[in-house]
Structure 1
Amino acid sequence: MHIGDLAATTGVSTQTLRFYEREGLIPAPNRQSNGYRVYDDGVASRIGFIRAAQTAGLTLSDIAGVLALREDGQAPCSHVHSLLTGKLDEVRARQRELVRLEKEIVGMLTTSSTLDPAMCSERSICNVIPQPLP
């Protein structure tokens, strides 16, 4: 399968395929005498895995580690479980951070409806956004 065909099959650009190849995420393809890349049929499923893993929040480094385990003949499922557990912890921490930010913004908006713009000093710039005391 040529690179254009692989790109069409997987929905990944040829530039991304070349990047995956340079990063070792997909094996270097055979080359025809004219220099065209010829990929094995199994590469499409590997790219599908890479894209799905990225969607789950795994980094390319994480994915490379999973692929290396598989290439060494090991089932990477427990490693993937560990990676996803870490991602879930990160997502939950970010959600807590966003809830805190939401409350802060709602408070600022509530305050802004009662403020007189004429009371804003040049030093405070805008009283809607409170500044910590020096």
Structure 2
Amino acid sequence: MRIGEAAAAADMTTKALRFYEQQGLLPSVHRCPNGYRDYPPETVARLEFIRRSKVAGLTLAEIREILQVRDAGQAPCTHVAAQLAQQLTRLDQQIAELTALRASVADYHQIAAQGDPAQCDAEQICSYL
């Protein structure tokens, strides 16, 4: 199938397909005599896997590693479980950092909302921050 057909089947753009090919996430594809890419049907499943992996927050490098395990003929289940465990740890850390940031911003906002601009110290850019 041509690139446009593969992109439409995977609900992606042709630009994304070319990018994934350049990044080594898709194997080199056969080219027709006219130079068009001719993707095999299994490309769609691979692209859908890439999309699901990105939704889960995996990096392209992590996705590439999983695909390499599969391409070597092995089931990547253990590797995927480890990647997802690392992703959960990263997400928990980001959530903790965002929770702390939100608390700080809420404190600043409360002070600013109760402030009086007439009392502003001209020597400071803004006394609320």
| TM-score, length of structure 1 as denominator length | 0.90
Q: How does 1:55-70 map to 2 (within 5 A)?
A: 55-70=55-70
Percent of residue pairs identical: 39
* Aligned residue in 2 for 1:122: 122
Higher RCO (C-alpha 8 Å, min separation 6) = 2
**In structure 1, what is the Cα distance between the partners aligned to 2:101 and 2:121?**
25
Specify the alignment match of 2:51 in structure 1: 51
Aligned partner of 1:78 in structure 2 is 78
Q: CA deviation at 1:34?
A: 0.7
Unpaired runs of at least 5, structure 2: none
Q: In the aligned structure 2, how far is the partner of 1:25 from the partner of 1:110?
A: 48
Q: Could you tell me the TM-score, scaled by structure 2's length?
A: 0.93
Tell me what 1:20 maps to: 20
Tell me the residue number matched to 1:94.
94
Contact (CA 8 Å) 1:115, 1:127: kept in 2 or not?
A: no
Quote how far apart the aligned CAs of 1:38 are: 0.6
> Mind listing any 5+ residue stretches in structure 1 that lack a counterpart?
130-134
Count of residue pairs brought into register by the alignment:
129
Q: 1:54 & 1:111 partners in 2: Cα distance? A: 40
